Amino acid sequence: MILLRYLVFSLMIACFVLVSHIEIVSAEDKPESPEASTPEVEEEVDESEIAFYSDRYIFRSKTLDDLILVVLVFERGRQEEGFYGEFFGAIFERNHWVFLEGNDKYAYASSDLKNIFPSYYANVEGTNVSGFVLGYDAGDYTIEISSGPVEEIVRPDEGPVIEKSIGVAEAVVTIHGKEHWGDLVHESLLWKGFNGLKRYKGLFKDYQAFYLKTDTGQQIYLHQNKSDRNTFKKKYDFSETLAPEVGVIFNQGKNVHTFKPPMSLTPIEQTTPPFALYKIPKRWEIEVDPELGSIFLWSRDNASINWLLGGYAIMAIEGIIKNNGEEERVWGFSEYYP
């Protein structure tokens, strides 16, 4: 099986090289057209006006027994060519992930990037103060999420270039007319000078992020990125990049624990996605401190968008916190970039 997998990879690479060679030769032999010799003059955009906005919404069901997760992400920005929007959605129910329809770029008719212009199938209204109403309707799913006001948990990045905040609110999701209570995580990001449509090499390496909750209402947020920040900033001439790691436990309106770097997020078990040359985590043991114990996590199910040498994976997480012989259940959402 392993030999067959690598034979398939070799064939894919060979085909890619052959097609690339044909395209290059064709481009060299093709005479320049009159239109190509007189290109239209495009409006120049100051680099300081390029910006990237992202609003991520994660619904988590109230209990682990009937785990439901809904992830809706609205990204938009301005680059040299104008304004753009991208949408990503996924739902976890009945112990299985499904990617929603419309996960792609979409026409962005508005220049107001702070407010979210709807994608083809999804929309969002509201603010952290008023609460949110999100809707999605396409394919096999009709989804509506309503939340109360959002309480901020942490600000991993706060500065003139990058602003990132994470908060949570009580919420209810309606799927096919049936209500499920839980909460809604809202993660907002503004990055000035960042082009979200461009694939920046070196932005992520072994990136892991967890959005978790417990039976007693504790909120646990963890993320760790092992990329070389200085090399990345120098390569793309950025003054700032995302914080390498942040970890907090939030309960009853206050931060009850801040994880000191480096956090112990190294997985104790990994798995290889189909047709991939990398592994994704499957189980973790995370040390907190003697007072709060340790967190044991495992992936109930994962779904991935694979590239040959990289990819993106989302996971439905469950686990327990062990402390002095007592256990408390944990569940939520996680994502991973190799």
pLDDT in tens, 198-208: 889 999 999 99
Query: Worst-scoring range by mean pLDDT, 44-48, 98-102, 109-113, 272-276?
Result: 44-48
Average pLDDT of 265-285? 91
Is pLDDT at 326 greater than 80 in this prediction?
Answer: yes
Is pLDDT at 94 greater than 70 in this prediction?
Answer: yes
Average pLDDT of 22-33? 36
Residue 112 confidence (pLDDT)? 92
Residue 275 confidence (pLDDT)? 78
Confidence of residue 109 (pLDDT cuts 50, 70, 90): confident
Angstrom distance (rounded) from CA 334 to CA 167:
16
Confidence of residue 19 (pLDDT cuts 50, 70, 90): very low
Average pLDDT of 273-282? 86
Q: Which of 88, 83, 145 is nearest to 115 (CA)?
A: 83
Q: Are 290 and 257 in contact (CB under 8 A)?
A: no
Residue 277 confidence (pLDDT)? 83
Phi, psi of 61 (to 5 degrees): -65, 160
| pTM score of the predicted model | 0.86
Average pLDDT of 152-181? 96
Q: Are 304 and 312 in contact (CB under 8 A)?
A: yes
Average pLDDT of 54-76? 97
Q: Are 154 and 258 in contact (CB under 8 A)?
A: no
Q: Are 105 and 197 in contact (CB under 8 A)?
A: yes
Is pLDDT at 40 greater than 60 in this prediction?
Answer: no
Residue 100 confidence (pLDDT)? 97
Confidence of residue 124 (pLDDT cuts 50, 70, 90): very high
Confidence of residue 117 (pLDDT cuts 50, 70, 90): very high
Residue 150 confidence (pLDDT)? 98
Mean pLDDT comparison of 74-83, 193-202, 232-241, highest-scoring range: 232-241
Tokens of 156: 């991993």
3-state SS string for 60-85 = EECCCCCCCEEEEEEEEEEECCEEEE
Is pLDDT at 27 greater than 50 in this prediction?
Answer: no
Is pLDDT at 29 greater than 50 in this prediction?
Answer: no
Confidence of residue 55 (pLDDT cuts 50, 70, 90): very high
Question: Which is more confident, 130 or 3?
Answer: 130
**What is the chain's mean pLDDT, rounded?**
87
Residue 180 confidence (pLDDT)? 97
Average pLDDT of 295-308? 89
Tokens of 165: 């905040």
Angstrom distance (rounded) from CA 257 to CA 220:
9
Q: Which of 44, 335, 86, 307 is nearest to 201 (CA)?
A: 307
Residue 81 confidence (pLDDT)? 77
Is pLDDT at 325 greater than 90 in this prediction?
Answer: no
Judged by phi (left if over 0) then psi (alpha if -120 to 50, else beta), residue 206 lies in left
Strand order in the sheet with 219-224: 254-258, 245-251, 219-224, 207-214, 326-337, 311-323, 293-306, 280-289, 267-271
The H or E element that residue 8 is part of is helix 2-29
Residue 80 confidence (pLDDT)? 76
Angstrom distance (rounded) from CA 70 to CA 131:
17
Residue 49 confidence (pLDDT)? 80
Q: Which residue has the tokens 């944990």?
A: 330
Q: Which domains does the chain have, with CATH numbers?
A: 50-198 (2.40.370), 199-338 (2.40.370.10)
SS3 230: helix
pLDDT in tens, 172-217: 999 999 999 999 999 999 999 999 988 899 999 999 999 999 999 9
Tokens of 47: 């680099």
